[in-house]
Structure 1
Amino acid sequence: MSTAVSTSTTGGSGERTAVAARARKVVKAFGTGDTRVVALDEVDVDIERGQFTAIMGPSGSGKSTLMHCLAGLDTVTSGQIWLDETEITTLKDKKLTRLRRDRVGFIFQAFNLIPTLDALENITLPMAIAGRKPDREWLDRIVATVGLADRLHHRPAQLSGGQQQRVAVARALASRPEIIFGDEPTGNLDSRAGAEVLGFLRQSVDELGRTIVMVTHDPIAASYADRVLFLADGRIVDEMADPTTDKVIERMRTLSVEDTSRTEAAGSEQ
């Protein structure tokens, strides 16, 4: 059974909803017939605006697939997904590409920086491609938040891994997207650099009002979030508010035991 959270709607005011993104009965399947694999199984979920949400689950649980579908990076087999009040599951490719460019930010495990551009050029590249000038006041605030003021004219090869990921975080924030998705954003970093990046993400929510969704396997990373969604077998099976590292570790341990039990039960039925 999927977990659903109540949705606030705009009514007639024209104001943004309290929900940045939502999914209803989303199914994502790969293959057909005997080879069909269901990665997401009728998922219902709301992502609250101005909050930091982490998505966790055992390997193969569907957590990255869910993020990719919510972000419009992958199509769904059935069901609906909205970004604010825009249903993205019905958009044509051109409009979906424009929506991702203008309203969504991305932070990936690989920093995805252009090696021939300096930090500032990498940060502002998406806006340059879109033909928009950055808001200088906002850009200065982002640079200060992630601590890059003295590294703006360094190229990626001149930066540490943690600094490169800070550039990636600043790039995701610079265009003021409605929602930012991170796929294991600290996966390539040591613990100290990872903690720095997670601190910046937390700060961007608390001080800059951003909305962040992060897929992670790391209980320490998840403890920076306001809320953790737990997936198993393509379904949201639990959620946790105000997570701590120890609480997340314990819940993941029970999920692994439940996953093993389901696998063994399925094997005995064959």
Structure 2
Amino acid sequence: MTTSTPSGTRTGQRAAAVAASATDLSKVYGQGETRVVALDQVSTQFHRGEFTAIMGPSGSGKSTLMHCMAGLDSVSSGSARIGDTELSSLKDKQLTRLRRDKVGFVFQAFNLLPTLTALENITLPMDIAGRKPDKAWLDNVIETVGLSGRLKHRPAQLSGGQQQRVAVARALAAQPEIIFADEPTGNLDSRSGAEVLGFLRNSVRELGQTVVMVTHDAVAASYADRVVFLADGRIVDELRSPTADAVLDLMKRFDAKGRTS
């Protein structure tokens, strides 16, 4: 195990089980003059019980990487795995089942059904799958995200921050192997965003969850155990135990390289 300083230490990976991994993963859109290489032979691992943030400038490939790793988009070449399962080897129904049973999602848009209560939205994926939630786990999740007093409210009766808490609880409720969060605080004010990030942080620390979050926000990234930086479809650096200042300093260096190249 490597140790790191509060100011953010680069590289070094902890000995832990791998929740998801990419090996020489490439994603190409279009052909000929319209051909765009969104990911260029990316290799990385996301460890169990760890919070990883993915950062990079617009067009760097961070959302594409998350979508490929979550089975929401196909890969052009290379490997994307959830645990030991190679996603490209799965047929559509198998991939749907894997996403339902092993992956949780939190998006910038809360994606709640307006006619359902908070509790009904939280348990909806399990209801669709015909599974009953583990009551003790569900109670623990609801307490972790601070929704005990809002379970009978519908989305229109909740603030943006509360709606995103429902979305986080929904992702956690089925006890997935990994949660992917795409700009989860993008539609929230700073206070609500900090609350949601705190809940994601607590889900890792207290519930043993694995979280991978795409963000452009250095403060959001500082909640993570590790930050992976992409540029032009490639991983160019990483930080452990990041602070917002350390993340900003590294981003500025990438910016400077881009302007002078």
Q: TM bucket by the smaller chain? A: over 0.9
Distance, in Å, in 2 between the alignment partners of 1:83 and 1:117 is: 31
What is aligned with 2:131?
Answer: 132
What is aligned with 1:194?
Answer: 193
What is aligned with 1:267?
Answer: none
Distance, in Å, in 1 between the alignment partners of 2:226 and 2:179 is: 15
Report Cα offsets for 1:35-85 as digits up to 9, x if no partner: 100000000001111000000001100000000000000000001111111
What is aligned with 2:49?
Answer: 50
Distance, in Å, in 1 between the alignment partners of 2:88 and 2:205 is: 30
What is aligned with 1:148?
Answer: 147
What is aligned with 2:229?
Answer: 230
What is aligned with 2:203?
Answer: 204
Distance, in Å, in 2 between the alignment partners of 1:101 and 1:25 is: 26
Distance, in Å, in 1 between the alignment partners of 2:149 and 2:178 is: 27
What is aligned with 1:220?
Answer: 219
Segments of 4+ in structure 1 off by > 4 A? 4-8
| Residue 251 in structure 1 maps to residue 250 in structure 2 | yes
Report Cα offsets for 1:75-119 as digits up to 9, x if no partner: 000011111111112211110010000000000000000000000
Distance, in Å, in 2 between the alignment partners of 1:255 and 1:183 is: 22
Distance, in Å, in 1 between the alignment partners of 2:68 and 2:14 is: 19
| Residue 171 in structure 1 maps to residue 166 in structure 2 | no
Q: Which has the higher contact order (CA 8 A, sep 6+)?
A: 2
Say if 1:28 and 1:76, in contact at 8 Å, map to a contact too: yes
Distance, in Å, in 1 between the alignment partners of 2:85 and 2:159 is: 38
| Residue 121 in structure 1 maps to residue 112 in structure 2 | no
Distance, in Å, in 2 between the alignment partners of 1:79 and 1:250 is: 32
What is aligned with 2:73?
Answer: 74
Identical residues among aligned pairs (%): 69
TM-score after normalising by structure 1: 0.91
Distance, in Å, in 2 between the alignment partners of 1:253 and 1:242 is: 19
What is aligned with 2:20?
Answer: 21
Q: In the comparison of the two structures, how many residue pairs are matched? A: 252
Distance, in Å, in 1 between the alignment partners of 2:18 and 2:244 is: 26
**Paired residue type of 1:132:** R
Report Cα offsets for 1:122-173 as digits up to 9, x if no partner: 0000000000000011000000000000000000000000000000000000
> 2:149 is paired with a residue of what secondary structure?
coil
Distance 1:5 1:95, change over 3 A: farther
Distance 1:6 1:24, change over 3 A: farther
> 1:221 is paired with a residue of what secondary structure?
helix
What is aligned with 1:11?
Answer: none
Distance, in Å, in 2 between the alignment partners of 1:7 and 1:75 is: 29
Q: Unpaired segments of 5 or more residues in structure 2?
A: 1-10
Say if 1:6 and 1:46, in contact at 8 Å, map to a contact too: no
Deviation of 1:259 after TM superposition, in Å, equals: 2.5
Deviation of 1:5 after TM superposition, in Å, equals: 7.9
Distance, in Å, in 2 between the alignment partners of 1:161 and 1:105 is: 20
Deviation of 1:6 after TM superposition, in Å, equals: 7.2
